[in-house]
């Protein structure tokens, strides 16, 4: 930590010295009256830029000092945990690279990264996380704030040492194409995600992280779910994330009597999800400038891998205000059902979610179900049939079926639906279009 602080200090010193030399050189050159006036303006501009940069460096240094003790405690806890779970062949003094999936302990610390901006209602999110959190040591909470919103910062600071509060230092506007000016917010969100995830995996050296946003409320078994599914993610390379969210989790579309049901999905759900450090190693170098969640759904990123998601969502969003101006909230998001029962996932065998076993069971269920037309399912008219199958052949037919059943349309030109595919759909739910 001291070495990192010294590097920051040397960076500040070199930055100031370089700018001072430039200013001295420009100032001592012979100038005409008009040139001198322009030079004065340029000096003032450079001085202002230098002041902004110094403030940014000072803020970063302040954060490093503020959390150095917490980082040291976390490292000590993690070292003890790893010592108890796996034998290390490297000597204690040897610096090792970030652990790969096979080296991560099933009992590793799982920090919750809360992405915040200008919602003072982040209190609702944090209160639920703290209320349901079973262990401060296993699930430390890090709130990463963008936007520089003072009221939100005061709310976050009011939690004291119960959470860690870090601030994204670069609040400047981002140059965007002319036709993307109205999407400036999406560019800033992508920049913030990249910075925050880099802090978690590069600076804090965590091996995994659960990501939520400041407008999400979590279910009573939110932590239980991730704790139980985490070893499965470590063991199965065909998985790349765990998600607490069901895109088609509207109350009338899910089986609320069976909140223990979990599925594999080819679609990246997000909205409360867990990723490993090795996935960030893969994604960080090519992280997009905007629309990061849509980008995650492209085949180039997914690479044939799946996520685990629940039948009944373990998160719900209460944030109508946002960069989408409430468009998706009013149409879909406000109708998502949040699970209200505690399911003891850690006492359950989740091995059925491994790829081979899951596909055998799921495909047998799909093709063993009776096939119906969409018209027969509208209005739940065939509810007594239980599980049924709807067959589609093109992206357009999928979108038409999804719209008719009130399901989320997950296909797009960047994320095409396979040419032929069957999905299992209960007559009382359309949640299996994933």
Active-site amino acid positions:
293
For 285-330, the DSSP string reads GG--SS-HHHHHTSHHHHTT-EEEEESSBSEEE----STTTTHHHH
Look-up: residue for tokens 């049901």? 261
**How is residue 267 annotated by DSSP?**
S
Bridge partners, residue 156, by sequence? none
d(CA 423, CA 246): 15
DSSP element (H, E) containing 274: strand 273-276
**Neighbour-count burial of 28, counting CB atoms closer than 10 A to its CB (0-12 exposed, 13-18 middle, 19+ buried):** exposed
Most distant pair of Cα atoms in the chain: their distance: 91
d(CA 366, CA 356): 15
Find the length of the chain.
434
d(CA 251, CA 336): 6
Give Cα separations from 266 to 16, 263, 355 (angstroms). 51, 10, 12
For 127-191, the DSSP string reads HHHHHH-S-TTTS-EEEEE-TT-HHHHHHHHTTGGGSEEEE-S--------GGGGGGHHHHHHHH
Report the 3 state secondary structure along 10-79.
HHHHHHHHHHHHHHHHHHHCCCCHHHHHHHHHHHHHHHHHHHHHHHHHHHHHHHHHHHHHHHHHHHHHHH
d(CA 365, CA 351): 18
């Amino acid at each position: 930590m001291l070495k990192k602080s010294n590097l920051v200090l040397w960076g500040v010193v070199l930055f100031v010295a370089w700018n001072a030399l430039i200013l001295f050189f420009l100032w001592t050159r012979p100038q005409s009256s008009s040139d001198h006036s322009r030079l004065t303006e340029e000096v003032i501009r450079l001085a202002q830029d230098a002041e902004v940069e110094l403030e940014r460096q000072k803020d970063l240094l302040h954060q490093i000092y503020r959390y150095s003790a917490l980082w040291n405690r976390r490292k000590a806890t993690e070292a003890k945990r790893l010592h108890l779970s796996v034998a290390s062949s490297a000597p204690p003094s040897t610096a090792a690279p970030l652990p790969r999936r096979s080296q991560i302990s099933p009992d590793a610390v799982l920090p919750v990264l809360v992405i915040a901006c200008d919602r003072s209602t982040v209190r609702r999110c944090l209160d639920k996380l703290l209320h349901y959190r079973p262990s401060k040591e296993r699930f430390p909470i890090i709130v990463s704030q963008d936007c520089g919103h003072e009221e939100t910062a005061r709310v976050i600071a009011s939690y004291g040492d119960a959470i860690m509060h870090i601030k994204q230092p670069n609040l400047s506007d981002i140059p965007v194409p002319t036709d993307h000016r109205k999407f400036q917010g999406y560019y800033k969100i992508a920049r913030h995600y990249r910075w925050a995830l880099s802090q978690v995996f590069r600076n804090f050296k965590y091996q995994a992280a659960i990501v939520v946003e400041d407008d999400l409320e979590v279910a009573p078994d939110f932590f239980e779910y991730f704790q139980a599914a985490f070893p499965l993610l470590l063991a199965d390379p065909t998985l790349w994330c765990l998600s607490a969210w069901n895109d088609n989790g509207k109350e009338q579309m899910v089986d609320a009597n069976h909140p223990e049901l979990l599925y594999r999905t080819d679609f990246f759900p997000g909205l409360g999800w867990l990723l490993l450090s090795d996935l960030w190693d893969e994604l960080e170098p090519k992280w997009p400038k905007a629309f990061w969640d849509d980008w995650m759904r492209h085949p180039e990123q997914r690479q044939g891998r799946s996520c685990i998601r629940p039948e009944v969502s373990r998160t719900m969003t209460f944030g109508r205000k946002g960069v989408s101006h409430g468009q998706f909230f009013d149409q879909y998001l406000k109708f998502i059902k949040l699970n209200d029962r505690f399911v003891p996932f850690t006492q359950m065998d989740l091995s059925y979610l491994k790829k081979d076993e899951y596909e055998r069971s799921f495909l047998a269920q799909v093709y063993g179900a009776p096939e119906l037309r969409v018209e027969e399912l509208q209005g739940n008219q065939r509810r007594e049939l239980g599980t049924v199958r709807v067959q589609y052949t093109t992206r357009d037919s999928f979108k038409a079926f999804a719209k008719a059943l009130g399901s989320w349309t997950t296909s797009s030109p960047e994320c095409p639906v396979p040419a032929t595919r069957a999905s299992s759909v209960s007559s009382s739910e359309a949640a299996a279009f994933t």
